[in-house]
Amino acid sequence: MSIEELKSALLGKEFPDVVELQSHQRVLDVPQFLKTQFIEVENWKKDLEKCPAYLRLIAFYKAVSSQP
């Protein structure tokens, strides 16, 4: 999934107050989380698949996509 696809899927949407990515990882401030991750991804110069922020965005996308 490209950065642009993630942006269109995630930005400007409503999400729960707390999003659980994994049993040990929760997002408590979704707007700040998304802002920070997209900044990190845009500044990443290496392979996108190895970017920690990209991996967190994919995990977030999967978590919110699986919610009813």
> Residue 17 falls within a domain, yes or no?
no
Total domains in the chain come to 1
Residue 58: inside a domain: yes
Residues in the chain: 68
The proportion of the chain whose per-residue pLDDT surpasses 70, expressed as a percent, equals: 97
In angstroms, the first-to-last Cα distance of the chain is: 22
Supply the range of the domain harboring residue 4.
1-11+29-68
At 41 the pLDDT is: 97
Q: Is 65 in contact with 5 (CB distance < 8 Å)?
A: no
E-assigned strand segments in 1-68: 19-22, 25-27
Domain contains 23: no
- For the entire predicted model, the pTM comes to 0.90
Which residues does 42 contact at the CB level (< 8 Å), separation at least 6? Answer: 3
Q: Please report whether residue 24 resides in a domain.
A: no
Under the banding of pLDDT at 50, 70 and 90, the label for residue 68 is low
